């Protein structure tokens, strides 16, 4: 039995999670060998308003007992964003050594991307997820005085850089990719980014003689993502650069509503966490119009991670079938369907796939 901790969170996180759980039920109905047990945790900004913390003190001890975490999104106007992020997402990612943030960026049939024009975009972003620019090292002193100052330190460790680059190389070798693109800025950020470049080069050279490495300055790289996105296969980036590149990656294939992500602890020593790239989208929360595909696809990635690549494949095929048919589309991709209609359409596509495959 695979045990999944489910944390819907805030805003549209709660709405899209309902659809992901619906899809999971359908998958289980179609295939009794898929033995998955879910436990829902209410940790969110609502929880914070009641208890003064985003999650209980022993939350990580509780989560440690699960095989994986399916997370929606957090962010609520009543709680400062740095509190929601640093009391919730960061402790999970850092304590559970989820140092790979894996973000696929892929053209989908039926989705009109502003850039696709018949070209196929199929890349994966490996974002370092536990250190780098997202550190709590620094300080803010002399408040309200002329000499007021703030310092924010970037922390890059050799082990941290080596592990994320190694994970990108392992993926490239496994899936027959030949090029690693590294996002850098070592011309201006001369300590940490030169260090990043040096260890990236070393790991890629050691990984395989067939892999080539291109290091591109982040400012140029964002322009290339727009001009020639089809040229990229595996992109490896620090925490901040990877965060920015993956929202851009989502946008060039059709929007945040479609993009899944995985916070992976590749050694499986701790549970990994699966969540959409998007946030809680307060501007559309409560309206029932959010696109649940990113959340459902994140469930797919989770299933692949817990050893059910077959179920992941079915989820992705069902999403692709619905988008290709084009009858059910949420507003973000040019339609009028509700969140729940999109979830239902994906469940129906799963049934169709099962029937075509000769099942009952």
- Cα→Cα distances 85→58, 92, 285, Å: 18, 10, 19
Residue 354 Cβ vs ligand NAI, minimum distance, rounded to whole Å:
26
Q: Please state, in angstroms and rounded to a whole number, the distance separating the CA atoms of residues 308 and 300.
A: 9
177 binds, among ligand NAI, Mg ion, none (CB under 5 to 8 A by kind): none
Residue 242 Cβ vs Mg ion, minimum distance, rounded to whole Å:
9
Residues 6+ positions from 120 with CB-CB distance below 8 Å: 107, 230
Q: Please state, in angstroms and rounded to a whole number, the distance separating the CA atoms of residues 354 and 13.
A: 28
The footprint of Mg ion on this chain (CB under 5 A) covers a number of residues equal to 1
Q: Please state, in angstroms and rounded to a whole number, the distance separating the CA atoms of residues 258 and 268.
A: 26
Using the rule CB under 5 A, is 30 a contact of Mg ion? no
Residue 243 Cβ vs Mg ion, minimum distance, rounded to whole Å:
4
- Cα→Cα distances 233→129, 226, 300, Å: 20, 15, 21
Q: Decide whether 279 or 343 has the Cβ nearer to Mg ion.
A: 279
Residue 312 Cβ vs ligand NAI, minimum distance, rounded to whole Å:
20
Using the rule CB under 5 A, is 243 a contact of Mg ion? yes
Structure tokens at 241: 């650069």
Query: Which among 122-130, 161-169, 224-232, 241-249 is the span making contact with Mg ion, rule CB under 5 A?
Result: 241-249
Torsion of CA 85, 232, 98, 198, to 10 degrees: -100
**Interface residue list for ligand NAI (CB under 6 A):** 12, 16, 73-75, 81, 89, 256-257, 275, 278-284, 290-291, 294, 332
Question: E-assigned strands of the chain?
Answer: 2-9, 36-40, 68-73, 100-106, 122-128, 138-141, 149-152, 179-184, 212-217, 234-237, 260-264, 272-276
Residue 3 Cβ vs ligand NAI, minimum distance, rounded to whole Å:
22
Q: Please state, in angstroms and rounded to a whole number, the distance separating the CA atoms of residues 211 and 107.
A: 24
Q: Decide whether 125 or 349 has the Cβ nearer to Mg ion.
A: 125
Residue 89 Cβ vs ligand NAI, minimum distance, rounded to whole Å:
6
199 binds, among Mg ion, ligand NAI, none (CB under 5 to 8 A by kind): none
Torsion of CA 55, 56, 62, 67, to 10 degrees: 0
Using the rule CB under 5 A, is 275 a contact of Mg ion? no
Residues 6+ positions from 305 with CB-CB distance below 8 Å: 68, 262, 264, 272, 274
332 binds, among Mg ion, ligand NAI, none (CB under 5 to 8 A by kind): ligand NAI
Residue 37 Cβ vs ligand NAI, minimum distance, rounded to whole Å:
24
Residue 356 Cβ vs ligand NAI, minimum distance, rounded to whole Å:
28
Q: Decide whether 12 or 59 has the Cβ nearer to ligand NAI.
A: 12
Query: Which among 125-133, 162-170, 242-250, 290-298 is the span making contact with Mg ion, rule CB under 5 A?
Result: 242-250
**What's the full length of the chain, in residues?**
360
243 binds, among ligand NAI, Mg ion, none (CB under 5 to 8 A by kind): Mg ion
Letters for 189-228 (x = contact with Mg ion by CB under 5 A, - = none) are ----------------------------------------
CA angle 97, 294, 30 (to 5 degrees): 100
**Cβ 292 vs Cβ 256: under 8 Å:** no
Query: Which among 80-88, 236-244, 262-270, 293-301 is the span making contact with Mg ion, rule CB under 5 A?
Result: 236-244
* Alpha helix ranges (H) inside 175-238: 192-207, 218-227
Q: Decide whether 81 or 325 has the Cβ nearer to ligand NAI.
A: 81
**Cβ 216 vs Cβ 182: under 8 Å:** yes
Q: Decide whether 14 or 177 has the Cβ nearer to ligand NAI.
A: 14
Q: Please state, in angstroms and rounded to a whole number, the distance separating the CA atoms of residues 127 and 237.
A: 5
Note the residues at the interface with Mg ion (CB under 5 A).
243
């Amino acid at each position: 039995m695979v045990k999944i901790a489910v944390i819907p969170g805030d805003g549209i996180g709660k709405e899209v999670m309902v659809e992901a759980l619906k899809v999971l039920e359908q998958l289980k109905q179609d295939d009794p060998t898929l033995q998955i047990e879910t436990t829902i945790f209410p940790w969110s900004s609502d929880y914070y308003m009641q208890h003064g913390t985003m999650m209980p003190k022993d939350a990580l001890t509780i989560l440690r007992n699960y095989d994986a975490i399916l997370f929606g999104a957090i962010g609520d106007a009543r709680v400062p964003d740095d509190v929601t992020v640093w009391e919730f997402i960061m402790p999970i990612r850092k304590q559970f050594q989820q140092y790979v943030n894996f973000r696929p960026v892929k053209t989908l049939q039926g989705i009109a991307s502003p850039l696709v024009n018949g070209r196929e975009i199929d890349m994966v972003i490996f974002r370092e997820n536990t250190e780098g620019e997202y550190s709590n090292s620094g300080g803010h002193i002399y408040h309200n005085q002329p000499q007021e100052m703030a310092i924010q330190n970037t922390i890059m460790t050799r082990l941290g850089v080596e592990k994320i680059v190694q994970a990108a190389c392992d993926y490239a070798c496994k899936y027959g990719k030949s090029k690693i693109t590294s996002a850098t800025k070592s011309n201006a950020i001369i300590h940490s980014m030169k260090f990043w470049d040096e260890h990236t080069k070393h790991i890629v050279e050691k990984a395989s003689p067939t892999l080539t490495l291109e290091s591109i300055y982040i400012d140029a790289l964002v322009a290339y993502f727009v001009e020639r996105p089809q040229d990229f296969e595996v992109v490896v980036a620090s925490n901040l650069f990877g965060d920015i590149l993956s929202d851009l990656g989502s946008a060039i294939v059709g929007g945040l509503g479609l993009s899944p992500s995985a916070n992976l602890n590749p050694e499986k020593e701790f549970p990994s966490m699966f969540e959409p790239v998007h946030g809680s989208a307060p501007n559309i929360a409560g309206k029932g119009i959010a696109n649940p595909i990113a959340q459902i696809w994140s469930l797919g990635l989770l299933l692949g991670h817990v050893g059910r690549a077959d179920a992941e494949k079915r989820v992705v095929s069902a999403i692709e079938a619905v988008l290709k048919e084009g009858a059910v589309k949420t507003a973000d991709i040019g339609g009028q369907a509700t969140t729940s209609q999109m979830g239902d359409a994906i469940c129906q596509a799963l049934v169709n796939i099962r029937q075509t495959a000769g099942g009952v």
